[in-house]
Amino acid sequence: MTTSELLRYAGWFALALLALAGAAILSYWAPWYFAWVVGTVMIILITAFAGALYERQAREQGAHGEDPLK
């Protein structure tokens, strides 16, 4: 492992620690703000997953010779 890689990992690790500390503080002082941060990120990820799933379903339907618009 090179020094630059090590520094990059250390940087990501520090960022993760900072995020955890922020989450701990926010969840203690402001549980609903914390819920909003987590909930909105989750909703975005699930929505993005639903979009990606559409692509997969359309591809599979196309592979089976079905009309993708049906």
Q: What does the binding site for another protein look like in residue numbers (CB under 8 A)?
A: 29-33, 35-36, 39-40, 42-48, 50-55, 57, 61, 67, 69-70
Cβ nearer to another protein, comparing 14 with 53: 53
In whole angstroms, give the CA distance from residue 46 to residue 40. 10
Euclidean distance between CA atoms 67 and 70, whole angstroms = 6
Longest distance between any two alpha carbons in the chain, whole Å: 56
The least distance separating another protein from the CB of residue 6, rounded to whole angstroms, comes to: 24
Smallest separation, CB 62 to another protein (Å): 12
